[in-house]
Every structure is written in structure tokens, then in C-alpha cells.
């Protein structure tokens, strides 16, 4: 879908305060155990630990980063450069920050490998080689995850699928699909939990907003 958007300023990040060590918000014992385990395995510099904050609260992570976190995300890493941190954090002192979200509602092994996964992203940033995912669970980052955790790649892929499926089921229970939109040109359908609040066109027909391919409401349920 392609939305006819108005320019909206992104929220200003409100960074957590700096501490003598990493800030952990959530199941601290579990987070600390796997954090230190994989921090050592990845040979990450100890001086970066006070610049790290991990939370299992989605709203808290979004306040820290000023970015929206999709409901299907199981883990996320965000790097805040010093130029931004200088004016946004409480006691930031112009230092860069590493911010991580870990979904709490997962199996113990899933929490473990998600921490390892996000620390791989952190390691990439420290080494100056940040990578984007080509396909979660099936790219070079997934191979690194298998190598550092010692779990077979196939097991990690199955675990990711299981957790993603479970998360989708929870999401649909909370917000069931009620509206179905369709492109008048190609016929592609777009399921929605809410009605679109503004004009939307088919992204398959045109990557930019095009009123010629404006989506039409084809069905809805109470």
C-alpha cells in the first residue's frame, strides 16, 4: 500500500540515564546472564557496557528511541549517535548509546537467542560494519547467530517461525481483521483491523501514491 502522507515530525528520543553498567529493565537476572554470556563470546569491549540499555517494555523502548515498534517485532537494536545523544539524554554527556528491546513473552531459548542476535547487531556497529537483514533467519546474520549460540541454523529458523506464529495469533486475538480493501486495477487485497484514515493506493501498481489505484473497501465485519 502507498499512503498519501502529511509530513509529521518524529518523536524526540528520551534516552535513559547513564549508569556505571548496563541498564536492564525487565527480567534482570535472565537479561544479565545472557547479556554477559554473549558479550564475552562476541569479545565486545567492556567500556561499551555503560552505554547499553535493554528493556522488555515496548513503550519504554519507543520513548528511548523515538521510533515506532511493530507489534510483530521480537527484538530490536537501535544505535543513537553521540550527536543526538548529547541533546536528548539525561546525563548523556554527548556519548553514543546502544538500545535494545527483547520481547518478554517468549520461550526461554527464544529470549536467549534474541539477546545474542541483537548483540550481533551491536557488534557490527562497534566494528563499523552495520548490516541490514536480507531475510530474517536465512541470511548472514542468522549464520552468525547459529555460530555464536551453537544451535543448528534449522533449529533457530524453526524457533523464529514458532514465535512469529504465536505472536501473530495473539495479535489477531487482540485486533481481528475487520476490513478488506482491494485494488480496482490488479485486484490485490489488503486486510485491515481498522479503516484507513486517509487515501491509500496499491503499492504493487505504483510505489508512489496514485489516485488511479486507490484502494476500495470490498468487505467489512462488525
Tell me how many domains the chain contains.
2
Report the DSSP beta bridge partners of residue 52. Answer: 98
Residue 216: all three cell numbers together: 476500495
d(CA 162, CA 167): 9
If asked whether residues 134 and 70 sit together in one domain, one would say yes
Is residue 10 included in any domain, yes or no? no
Rounded Cα gap, residues 208 and 203, in angstroms: 7
Does 129 share its domain with 31? yes
Same structural domain for residues 57 and 106? yes
Handedness of CA 32, 35, 40, 41 (dihedral sign): positive
Average pLDDT, the chain: 90
Assigned domain for 16 exists: no
Give the model confidence (pLDDT) of 67-90 as tens digits.
889 888 999 999 999 888 776 545
Question: In whole angstroms, what is the distance from residue 116 CA to residue 100 CA?
Answer: 11
- Which pLDDT value is given to residue 1? 56
Nine cell digits for residue 218: 470490498
Residues 103-116: what's their mean pLDDT? 96
* Residue 144: count of CB within 10 angstroms of its CB: 18
User: In the chain, pLDDT over 90 holds for what percent of residues?
Assistant: 68
Residues 170, 83, single domain; the answer is yes
DSSP state of 13: P
Q: Is residue 41 situated within a structural domain?
A: yes
Nearest Cα to 8, choosing from 197, 205, 212?
A: 197
Query: Beta strands 52-55 and 97-102: pairing type?
Result: parallel
Domain limits at 214?
A: 176-220
**Residue 17 maps to a domain:** no
Flag whether 205 is in a domain.
Answer: yes
Instruction: Mark whether 167 and 99 lie in a shared domain.
Output: yes
Does one domain contain both 170 and 203?
A: no
- Residues 88-101 have pLDDT tens digits of 545 445 689 999 99
Same-domain status, 160 and 210: no
Q: Is residue 1 part of a domain?
A: no
Please indicate, yes or no, whether residues 44 and 123 belong to a single structural domain of this protein: yes
The CA-atom distances, in angstroms, between 95 and each of 5, 106, 156 are: 34, 32, 34
111 and 140 co-located in one domain: yes
CA 9 to each of CA 4, 25, 66: distance values in angstroms, whole numbers, following the listed order? 16, 28, 10
Say if residue 168 is in the same domain as residue 194. Answer: no
Q: What is the CA radius of gyration of the chain?
A: 20
Q: Is the dihedral of CA 13, 122, 134, 72 positive or negative?
A: negative
pLDDT at position 72, please? 87
Task: Look at the pTM and tell me if it is higher than 0.85.
Answer: no
Q: What's the confidence (pLDDT) of residue 91?
A: 46
Measured CA to CA, the distance from residue 51 to residue 53 in angstroms comes to: 7
Residue 135 has pLDDT above 90, yes or no: no
Amino acid at each position: 500500500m502507498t499512503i498519501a502522507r502529511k509530513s509529521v515530525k518524529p518523536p524526540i528520543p528520551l534516552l535513559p540515564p547513564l549508569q556505571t553498567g548496563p541498564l536492564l529493565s525487565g527480567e534482570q537476572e535472565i537479561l544479565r546472564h545472557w547479556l554477559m554470556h554473549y558479550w564475552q563470546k562476541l569479545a565486545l569491549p567492556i567500556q561499551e557496557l555503560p552505554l547499553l540499555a535493554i528493556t522488555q517494555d515496548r513503550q519504554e523502548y519507543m520513548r528511548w528511541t523515538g521510533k515506532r515498534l511493530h507489534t510483530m517485532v521480537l527484538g530490536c537494536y537501535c544505535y543513537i549517535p553521540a550527536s543526538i545523544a548529547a541533546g536528548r539524554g539525561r546525563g548523556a554527556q554527548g556519548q553514543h548509546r546502544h538500545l535494545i528491546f527483547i520481547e518478554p513473552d517468549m520461550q526461554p531459548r527464544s529470549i536467549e537467542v534474541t539477546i545474542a542476535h541483537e548483540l550481533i547487531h551491536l557488534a557490527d556497529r562497534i566494528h563499523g560494519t552495520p548490516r541490514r537483514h536480507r531475510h530474517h533467519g536465512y541470511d548472514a546474520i542468522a549464520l552468525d547467530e547459529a555460530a555464536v549460540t551453537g544451535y543448528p541454523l534449522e533449529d533457530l529458523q524453526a524457533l523464529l517461525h514458532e514465535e512469529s506464529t504465536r505472536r501473530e495469533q495473539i495479535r489477531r486475538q487482540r485486533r481481528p481483521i475487520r476490513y478488506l480493501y482491494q485494488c480496482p486495477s490488479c485486484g490485490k487485497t489488503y486486510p485491515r483491523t481498522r479503516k484507513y484514515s486517509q487515501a491509500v493506493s496499491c503499492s504493487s501498481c505504483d510505489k508512489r501514491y496514485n489516485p488511479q489505484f486507490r484502494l476500495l473497501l470490498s468487505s467489512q465485519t462488525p
